[in-house]
């Protein structure tokens, strides 16, 4: 009864023996799964940046101009490009999750195919938005 | 009277609290609401990136824009709190660290979300200089 619990591997058990000794063959569904979380974390930071925009707007013209200059700097544009990819990836991947919640799309072929579709959509939508932004003089 | 039931048996006898699905449903509902709101916001960002302070104040002053931004902030911060909570619960098992991160997540989302909503309302209701 007083036996101390042993350390047991947590499931899913991906890595053992060394940093690159994977138990499983790399697969696109692994990428699309972890990318959903990674882009979610990126958007967490993005939401804080956009909240900063609202706070700067309320703080007056000088603070707003400074904040906008920071967002418009090369580093700011790089961050915004990453956020655009993250928004569209997380959105499409989220729709994929909603289909799973409805009990659809668990077949291996379907899951592989819509992984590719989600990634392709994120890239295409990001490029489209940046082309529109460039044409409208926003960048 | 002595209770000879095992802890598991006792838990089974009590049954569920009947509201276990609430967190799950709120994650999905906020996700669905964010689809149109975020698509609208992407074009809002493009529009505002090309304009100055006065243009931004005028844009936020439009009732529809102000309401949609407030809804976006409220639902987005709710949604990202839910998501980050699940990530912490999945990966962090050490006790003080786990609770600390969960509390920090809630406080950051509540504070920054409330600040952003108040700022938008201030500008929309004519409080900007």
- Residue range of the domain that includes B93: 24-124
Quote the CA–CA distance of A116 and B21 in Å, as a whole number: 31
CATH class for the domain made up of A28-135: mainly alpha
* Residue B55 located in a structural domain: yes
Measure in Å the smallest separation between the Cα of A44 and chain B Cα atoms.
6
Q: What is the pTM assigned to this prediction?
A: 0.85
Tell me the backbone φ, ψ of residue A121, rounded to 5 degrees.
-60, -45
* Residue B52 located in a structural domain: yes
Listed by start position, the domains of chain A span 28-135
* Residue B57 located in a structural domain: yes
What CATH code is carried by the domain that includes residue B62? Answer: 1.20.1300
Query: Best mutation site among B80, B87, B94 for testing chain A: the one with the most A CBs within 10 Å?
Result: B80
Total domains, chain B: 1
Cβ-Cβ contacts under 8 Å, A89 against chain B: none
Measure in Å the smallest separation between the Cα of B123 and chain A Cα atoms.
6
- Tokens in use for A41? 């974390």
* Residue B9 located in a structural domain: no
Burial class (CB in 10 A: 0-12, 13-18, 19+), A57: buried
* Residue B43 located in a structural domain: yes
> What value of ipTM does the predicted structure carry?
0.85
Would you give per-residue pLDDT tens digits along chain A (139 residues)? 566 667 766 655 666 666 666 666 678 888 999 999 999 999 999 999 999 999 999 999 999 999 999 999 999 999 999 999 999 999 999 999 999 999 988 899 999 999 999 999 999 999 999 999 999 877 7
* Residue B38 located in a structural domain: yes
Per-residue model confidence (pLDDT) at position B128: 64
* Residue B47 located in a structural domain: yes
């Amino acid at each position: 009864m007083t036996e101390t619990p042993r350390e047991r591997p947590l499931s899913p058990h991906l890595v053992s023996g060394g940093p690159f000794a994977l138990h499983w063959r790399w697969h696109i569904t692994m990428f699309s799964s972890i990318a959903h979380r990674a882009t979610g974390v990126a958007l967490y930071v993005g939401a804080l940046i956009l909240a900063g925009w609202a706070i700067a707007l309320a703080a007056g013209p000088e603070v707003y101009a400074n904040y906008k200059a920071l967002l418009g700097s090369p580093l700011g544009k790089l961050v915004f490009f990453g956020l655009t990819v993250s928004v569209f990836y997380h959105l499409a991947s989220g729709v994929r999750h909603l289909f799973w919640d409805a009990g659809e799309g668990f077949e291996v072929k379907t899951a592989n195919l819509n992984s590719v579709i989600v990634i392709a959509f994120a890239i295409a939508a990001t490029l489209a938005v940046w082309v529109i932004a460039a044409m409208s003089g926003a960048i | 009277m002595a209770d000879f039931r095992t802890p598991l048996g006792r838990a089974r006898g009590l049954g569920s609290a009947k509201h276990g699905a609430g967190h799950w449903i709120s994650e999905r509902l906020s996700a669905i609401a964010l689809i149109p709101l975020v698509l609208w916001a992407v074009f809002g960002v493009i529009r505002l990136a090309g304009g100055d302070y006065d243009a931004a104040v005028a844009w936020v002053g439009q009732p529809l824009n102000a309401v949609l931004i407030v809804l976006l902030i409220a639902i987005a911060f709710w949604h990202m709190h839910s998501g980050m909570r699940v990530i912490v619960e999945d990966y962090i098992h050490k006790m003080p660290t786990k609770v600390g991160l969960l509390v920090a997540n809630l406080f950051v989302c509540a504070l920054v979300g409330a600040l952003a909503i108040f700022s938008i309302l201030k500008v929309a209701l004519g409080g900007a200089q």
